[in-house]
Amino acid sequence: MPNDKFLFISHADKDSKIVSYFVDLLYAIGLKEKNMFCSSRTDLDVPIRENIYDYLRNLLDSDTVIPVFMLSDNYYESAACLNEMGAVWMKQQSYFTFLLPNFEFQQIKGAINPNNKGIKLDCNTDILKGELTNFKDEICRIFDTEINANRWEKERDSFINKLKTNSTDIFINLSEHKGYCIGEVNYNGCKVTFDKAKNKIIAAYDFTKTRAEICSLVFFTGEVNMHNQFLQNKHLCFSLKSVNNSFELTVELRLKSRDVSYNIQTSKEWENYSISLQDFGGAESAWQILREIKFLVYRNNIKRETIEIKDIKIV
């Protein structure tokens, strides 16, 4: 067993691809094999002829180990991961926490303190760059290593790009939009503007200026294959508020062969909505194509109203 500090990377086997990218980043910072343990990497796994359970127990009982928790839904579904978490709690050791894509701080439970500073790997890119740099500085201090600033930026940005490539998340381009008054040639009852500075859409519905029964704000997605996202039970997420009054609004998706919809209640304050794709319904085969995301307003629900929408994504 090594006498100096080293990292124990606690993660679920299902997350091994992202964790391997993370290990490569640690190597780039200057860590060696003797500085790390990672069960999904053959170069950092239990040595040959060692008893696996005895080796892991001794590792987690050692004062030289600094755990790195790579948290995800997969992590909390793994008995082995929860045992590792409990072992660290028993020792009251300090640790690093990373939240893998699609895992939120409010989902943290068990022995890990959700109030401790952690790094969310799918946060804003500029924020992530800064937090990874702070992590790098701490690792360099602990292990007395260093990396050239230019090389660090290259390695860090490469790691972030790998995260994005590995992700099945889809971010909707808000600039690809249009307002419609269903059944009318002119669309005076649905005026839409794009606030580029704040990256949000402002849609003003006014049924005094149209005879249509339905007005629609449409975001065009092209023909995106959503089959995997549907099977993974991804969610359509967005932030929305109504300026004057709350009312019922219909979110509709145009798929390959049909439209599917889900009703929400708006609020005069910003609300974050998260709707499971499977809650929209539709046959699995229909999700091979998503063409549009629509926000429909009905005459019998409002007379005049303005809504604001931002951060539309499928995660």
| 84 part of the active site | yes
Over range 150-162, report the average pLDDT. Answer: 93
Helix axes 52-61, 79-91, angle to 10 degrees: 30
pLDDT digits (tens, 9 = 90+) for 185-194: 889 999 999 9
Q: Kindly state the percentage of the chain with pLDDT values over 90.
A: 58
pLDDT digits (tens, 9 = 90+) for 271-283: 999 999 999 998 9
**Domains (ranges, CATH) in the chain?**
6-166 (3.40.50.10140), 170-314 (2.60.120.260)
Q: pTM value?
A: 0.55
- Taking alpha carbons only, the member of 94, 39, 87 closest to residue 66 is 94
Residue 47: predicted pLDDT: 64
Catalytic residue among 33, 50, 77, 84: 84
